[in-house]
Homo-oligomer: A and B are copies of this chain.
Amino acid sequence: MEAVNTLIAERMASEHAPRIPQVTAHLVDAGGKRLRPLLTLAAAKLCGYSGEDHIKLAATVEFIHTATLLHDDVVDESEQRRGRPTANLLWDNQSSVLVGDYLFARSFLLMVETGNLDVLRILSEASAVIAEGEVLQLSAAQSLATDESVYMQVIRGKTAALFAAATEVGGVISAAEPAHSAALRDYGDALGISFQIVDDLLDYGGTSAVFGKNIGDDFRERKMSLPVIRAVAAASVEERAFWTRVIEKGQQDEGDLEEALRLMQAHGALESTRDSALEWGQRARDALAPLPASDLKDLLGELADFVVSRAV
């Protein structure tokens, strides 16, 4: 990870436009979990890789993720990310859009350096699926007609696609046998789905639903996340009128978030969301089965537990 961080710092430089490293550093230095590059490194090592290109791929994955965050914050008009003001607030939307574009382009340049066309195909495909998922989310938000199958499409795009690509390229760069690369891909896919479901659950305070800070962003943005979808599916006529008002019409008053939480608890929507996260965590573990036993395989398995543990 040390080498990945060094490479990220090197490649976010720009000779002509000093705002680029400023904006990028603001986000990169804020930390974040660096989960995606870690997945690439672990997957490559698990497959016995001994070269250096996995470091480039890990940095690529983090660049794509960072570019996505910059654009997301513009799209969501967010004001906070990782406990700090967002780049669009500190600089402007313009800088976030363009610096995101720069990072996308740099990420492709990094991949090209590996000279591996399969890796290039997997990661550019993932980038397209990410954007597609975000566009789909735009039209799926604010509509009570959004069901679980649309939700799955959205989170497979916006989150799981990069997790799946991050682990798969670790196998592919190692010239692992196809069944192993496919297992790593399935693992990343399930892990990403589990991760996003947990995120969506935590946005409503988790199953404890203790009313704390940073709760309710998705509610205010009228996102059809899993807890909402399940509460809506079980809603009475009066409750449906409530959801129509706050999600579809966007008329939100004081006390509405508390009411939403009350309805979710009444219908067990938070518990069943947690159960789904656990189920996808288990699928991630199961996907690892074809891979030979090793410490790194155990670590990936524990990572699946860790991701879900935030929610229980």
Contacts and interface: CB of A to CB of B under 8 A. Distances in A.
A274 interface: no
**Prevailing SS type, chain A contact patch:** helix
A139 interface: yes
Contact of A16 (B19, B105, B112, B136): B136
A252 B74 CA distance: 28
Q: Determine how many copies of this chain the complex contains.
A: 2
Contact of A109 (B19, B99, B128, B132): B128
Interface in A1-34: 14, 16-20
A131 B115 contact: no
A97 interface: yes
B75 A132 contact: no
A88 to B, nearest CB: 11
A121 B128 contact: no
Contacts of A101: 71, 100, 104, 127, 130-131, 134
B94 A132 contact: no
A127 B104 contact: yes
Contacts of A98: 71, 75, 131, 134-135, 138
Contacts of A20: 132, 135
A17 B75 CA distance: 16
Contact of A17 (B121, B124, B135): B135
B93 A109 contact: no
Contacts of A16: 132-133, 136, 153, 157
A266 interface: no
Contacts of A117: 112, 115, 117
Contacts of A75: 93-94, 97-98
A134 B101 CA distance: 10
Contacts of A128: 102, 105-106, 109
13 contacts: A17-B136, A19-B138, A20-B132, A74-B93, A74-B97, A75-B98, A97-B97, A101-B127, A101-B131, A105-B125, A109-B124, A112-B121, A112-B124
